């Protein structure tokens, strides 16, 4: 049997990739090199849309400052990647204001139930369940840009007045036309035609990392390159927190460990306690009133450095 190349469909993500034609006749190493070469196109595609990602981050950071949330919405691989990014935000940044809504969850997290992606009304019901409102930012994730579930959720969010962002790999798709900001890294057709868990999925993962991480930095939940809002849920993270305290404040390890314990495991509070000689309550109140915790910490650490220099 001879397999002939087919003409690519309108959606880039559904097209056939000439680089992987007759893939089943290749050696294992040749298959892997083809996949690797195609994967290498993803960072370049993302570099081209950094202005749009930056625009989205500014919108998300503003929403977070005003009490809103970042909400991911998707089906299949796109939905699972949204969940993956969202669940990492509480331990890394100490925030519960990144939420993922996935078609068919929780069952669909473990087993593909793609039929739910065809139901746009279900997306509205799911968003009502998480109480989406006009303060939130909704990121609709769909490699094809035409998933009914995602489009239905975007339509619902638009009606509520929430800012909508579309993440897709197909320019000119319905998702790009229905969202305020469109992020479209064009990675080309997949090695396995239509298998968007590959390049398109990798692009989605990288962009979601950028959206959440940069937004949290802008929100003041990162100091320098330290995760100062980390939740101390394991020995490794407690050791990391002590190390950050020592490096940031110049305190001895024993003093850092004591401040961390007295603060109840709240690293930003412990930083202020050591940097300004404050008690737990005073440090907690100062951070509670701050719109940007990192700025408060940086000012305290700068003041400490100046005081130490004068005393030398």
Other CB atoms within a 10 A radius of the CB of residue 233 amount to: 11
Strand ranges in the chain using DSSP code E only, listed in sequence order: 70-74, 98-102, 137-141, 163-167, 181-183
Q: Is 88 a catalytic residue?
A: yes
Length of the chain equals: 312
**Residue 163 CB contacts under 8 Å (≥ 6 apart), including other chains:** 59, 63, 136, 137, 138, 180, 181
Q: Which residues does 172 contact at the CB level (< 8 Å), separation at least 6?
A: none
Active site annotation includes 114: no
Q: In what order do the strands lie in the sheet with 181-183?
A: 98-102, 70-74, 137-141, 163-167, 181-183
Q: How far apart are the first and last CA of the chain?
A: 84
Report the C-alpha gap between 263 and 279 in whole angstroms.
9
Which tokens go with 172?
């000119």
CA pair distance 149, 158, nearest whole angstrom: 14
Q: How many angstroms separate the CA atoms of 83 and 234, rounded? A: 22
Tokens for 32, please give them.
């892997």
- Residue 19 — left, alpha, or beta (φ > 0 → left; ψ -120 to 50 → alpha)? alpha
Structural tokens at position 23: 């893939």
Q: Which of 88, 114, 262, 282 is catalytic?
A: 88
**DSSP secondary structure letter of residue 1:** -
The residues assigned a catalytic role are 88, 117
């Amino acid at each position: 049997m001879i397999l002939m190349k087919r003409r690519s469909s309108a959606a880039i993500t559904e097209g056939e990739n000439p680089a992987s034609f007759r893939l089943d006749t290749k050696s294992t190493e040749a298959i892997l090199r083809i996949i690797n070469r195609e994967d290498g196109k993803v960072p370049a595609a993302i570099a081209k849309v950094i202005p749009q990602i930056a625009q989205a981050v500014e919108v998300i950071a503003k929403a977070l400052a005003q009490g809103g949330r970042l909400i991911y919405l998707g089906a299949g691989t796109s939905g699972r990647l949204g969940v993956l990014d969202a669940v990492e935000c509480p331990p890394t940044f100490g925030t519960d204001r990144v939420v993922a809504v996935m078609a068919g969850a929780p069952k669909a997290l473990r087993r593909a139930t793609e039929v739910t992606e065809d139901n746009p009304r279900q997306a509205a019901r799911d968003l009502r369940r998480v109480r989406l409102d006009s303060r939130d930012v909704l990121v609709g994730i769909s490699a094809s840009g035409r998933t009914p579930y995602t489009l239905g959720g975007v339509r619902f969010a638009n009606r509520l007045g929430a800012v909508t962002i579309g993440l897709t790999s197909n320019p000119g798709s319905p998702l790009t036309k229905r969202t305020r900001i469109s992020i479209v890294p064009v990675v080309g057709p997949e090695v396995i035609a239509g298998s968007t868990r590959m390049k398109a999925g990798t692009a989605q993962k990288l962009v979601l990392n950028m959206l959440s991480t940069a937004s949290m930095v802008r929100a003041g939940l990162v100091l320098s390159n330290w995760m100062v809002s980390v939740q101390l849920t394991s020995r490794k993270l407690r050791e990391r927190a002590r190390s950050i305290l020592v490096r940031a404040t110049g305190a001895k390890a024993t003093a850092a460990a004591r401040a961390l314990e007295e603060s109840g495991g709240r690293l930003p509070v412990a930083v202020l306690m050591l940097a300004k000689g404050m008690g737990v309550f005073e440090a907690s109140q100062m951070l509670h009133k701050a719109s940007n915790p990192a700025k408060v910490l940086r000012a305290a650490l700068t003041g400490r450095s100046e005081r130490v220099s004068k005393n030398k």
